[in-house]
Structure 1
Amino acid sequence: MDPNLLYWKSQGQSFISRLQIWVNLLDPTSLFCSDAQIQKARASLGSEGKSEKDAAALTLSLSSVHADSGTVLPLIFRPPAFLPISAPLVVASLLPHSSVKPAVFWQFLLQSYTAGFNCANRNSSAEQDKAARLKQFLLIAGTVSYATCAGALPQIFISRLGVRSAPVLTFFRSILPIPLSAALALLSVYTLRNEELETGIQVFDSNGNPVGISKAAGHKAVKETALSRAALFGTTAAVPNLLVLLLKRTKPFQRNPFLVAPFRHISVACVLGLMIPVSFSLFPQLGAIKKEKLEEELQVAAVDGHLFYHRGL
């Protein structure tokens, strides 16, 4: 089993412990480390003893190396890069745009980045051939196109229907984006990680030995990741929009309506920053699936009543 997964197995089985780990791993200063430094840190993990240097190497490996392939993740798709890159895209995509074009533009950038992040951090234990890679590329293109159009639907409706009523505008700009953001995040994970549903993912016994490929584990891994991503984007859309609706009724905001925009931007960025480690921690990185839910040929290997799998991110 990969050193990253061994660490998650021993340290990441409770929500609080996972949250503490992710808060540490999401430190953006690790992005300044070169690939050579990351590979050197990962190579040192096999040495005995635990020191401050070992802890730094482990943190660098966990935040920068894919647990299935052992390769260094692309810089922009590493977990520490998620907040710095996605925050301005999320803020811009939730703005009350005046026309369709800027809404589509920002949705395209956001959906493209999240699609790339989902693909780069997925479970890749099942080998891919050239046909599978082509299928993955088509899935990415299709998902980004569909999600971009769907994400811009509120502004499309406003522009095409010529909406001027304040209650209707509030619905399209503040209420509809909440379930829409959650649904699109859920759909993106399910679509882009379709291969895990079809071919399955690697499962391990309690000693960390690979015992086979399981579709049931693949379904569980994708479902958990999709739910965590829906919670992330749904909450990020909900909290700031609902706060703005409430604060607009207060006297300070009624006297100074120009405060609404900066408050919205800051609150979106803050909620996103708080929700990223929470959403990443909702489910274990090294999940467990019960024996009775596994395929018959794998149940014999589950001597402890369950097997482990890498959930991906």
Structure 2
Amino acid sequence: MVDLPWSKQMLRLLCSVMFFVVFWPISAPLVLYASFLPFNSVKPALFYQFLLQSYNTGFNYANRNSSSEQKRMSLNQLLLIAGTISYTTCAGALPQIIINRLHVKSVPVQTFCRSILPIPLAAVLAFFNVMTVRSQEPDNGIQVFDSNGNSVGFSKAAGEKAVRETAVSRAALMGTAAAVPNLLVLFLLRFVQRNVILAASVRPVSVTLILSLMIPVSFSLFPQLAAKEELEAELQAAAVDGHLLYHRGL
């Protein structure tokens, strides 16, 4: 891993703080209501999933790298955003849809749908959301800079790397935020069956705590630089110290 100058390390720290301040206050209650609370019907599950996925989509679009894009949103971008929200909303409510439409009465199956299935679902939908909303970055390329901060051009390879790594970090964030609270509640319900209220109260506390811890971790998973061999041939000459910098987005 390349050592970043002190100023760039401070920039990463500042970006992590901004990510936490902007993302956490709204995402924490939305994740709790949309993904973890049991509902008796499909409509409230769809409603809270719509709020969560709309916020995630808007956040991903607002914090993308738009260095090579037009300033005004195109019709294709608008349709892509609407389609992403619609698809992820329906997919996120899939556990409740299965329970209601199939009239599931089995307690183990209900437990699987409410506590186990949301874990991979949250990670996959977070990954999919970033990849679709920011799909123009690999197509158009993003601006890259040398170690002195001078722009050297646009790179599609850097754009693909930035979007892929952001999607992986967001999947890690949402997957962990889904896994730890659900598995912890299952564990408590197994050994503290007489105090269901105590076990249930652990969920909102654990969701808040895990999101608080994972937001800076997920943002710091990947450095915002591309190695020389990962870049296009015409840009490799500019990577005199072996890498170029870019803004990965949040």
Shared fold, TM over 0.5: yes
Q: Distance in 1 between matches of 2:68 and 2:13?
A: 30
Q: Which whole-Å CA distance do the structure 2 matches of 1:311 and 1:133 have between them? A: 22
Amino acid at match of 1:174: S
Q: Output the CA distance in 2 between the equivalents of 1:9 and 1:117.
A: 29
CA contact (8 A) 1:288 1:309 kept: yes
> 2:20 touches 2:216 (CA, 8 Å); kept in 1?
no
Query: What RMSD over aligned residues (CA atoms) do the two structures have, in Å?
Result: 1.9
Q: What is aligned with 1:293?
A: 230
SS at match of 1:255: coil
Task: Report the CA distance shift for 1:202/1:18 in structure 2 as closer, same or farther (over 3 A).
Answer: closer
Runs of 4+ in 1 over 6 A off after TM superposition: none
| 1:10 and 2:21 aligned | no
Structure 2 residue aligned with 1:112: 54
Residue-by-residue CA offset, 1:146-174 (whole Å, 9 max, x unaligned)? 00000000000000111111111111111
Asked which structure has the greater CA Rg, the reply is 1
Tell me by how many angstroms 1:81 deviates.
2.6
Q: 1:12 to 1:262 in 2, by over 3 A?
A: farther
Q: Report the CA distance between 1:257 and its aligned residue.
A: 1.5
- State the secondary structure of the residue aligned to 2:74: helix
2:235 matches 1:281? no
- Structure 2 distance, partners of 1:238, 1:12, is 33
Q: Percent identity?
A: 64
From 153, 178, 181, give the equivalent of 1:237.
178
| Structure 2: runs of 5+ lacking an equivalent | none
Would the aligned equivalents of 1:217 and 1:289 in 2 still touch at CA under 8 Å? Answer: yes
Corresponding residue for residue 305 of structure 1: 242
Structure 2 counterpart of 1:245, one-letter code: L
Which residue does the alignment assign to 1:100? 42
SS at match of 1:303: coil
1:255 match: 194
Please tell me whether the aligned partners of residues 189 and 225 of structure 1 are also in contact (alpha carbons under 8 angstroms).
yes
Task: Answer yes or no: is the 8 Å Cα contact 2:69–2:140 preserved in 1.
Answer: no
Name the CA shift for 1:12/1:182 in 2 (closer, same or farther; >3 Å).
farther
1:129 & 1:83 partners in 2: Cα distance? 27
Give the secondary structure class of the aligned counterpart of 2:193: helix
1: CA distance, partners of 2:12 / 2:71: 36
**2:6 is aligned with what amino acid?**
S
TM (norm. structure 2) is 0.92
Q: CA deviation at 1:302?
A: 1.5
- In the other structure, the counterpart of 1:59 is none
Match of 1:156 among 87, 94, 97: 97
Paired position in structure 2 for 1:175: 116
Number of equivalent positions: 246
Q: 1:143 touches 1:192 (CA, 8 Å); kept in 2?
A: yes
Amino acid in structure 2 at the alignment position of 1:254: Q
Q: Secondary structure in 2 aligned to 1:312?
A: coil
Secondary structure of 1:282's match?
coil
CA distance in 1, matches of 2:15, 2:226: 23
Provide Cα deviations, 1:79-119, integer angstroms capped at 9, x if missing partner: 51311111111110121211101100000000000111111
Aligned equivalents of 2:59, 2:5: Cα separation in 1: 23
Q: Does 1:125 align with 2:125?
A: no
Tell me the amino acid that sits aligned with residue 105 of structure 1.
F
Q: CA–CA distance in 2 between the matches of 1:295 and 1:19?
A: 25
C-alpha separation in 2, matches of 1:117 and 1:234 = 18
**Structure 1 residue identity aligned to 2:41:** S
Contact map agreement 2:20 2:215 (CA 8 A) in 1 = no
Partner Cα distance (1:295, 1:22) in 2? 27
Does the CA contact (< 8 Å) of 1:214 and 1:294 recur in 2? yes
Is the contact made by 1:181 and 1:230 (CA closer than 8 Å) also made in structure 2? yes
CA–CA separation in structure 1 for the residues paired with 2:43 and 2:5: 46
In structure 2, relative to structure 1, the CA distance for the partners of 1:265 and 1:100 (3 Å cut) is same
* Structure 1: distance between partners of 2:214 and 2:20: 13
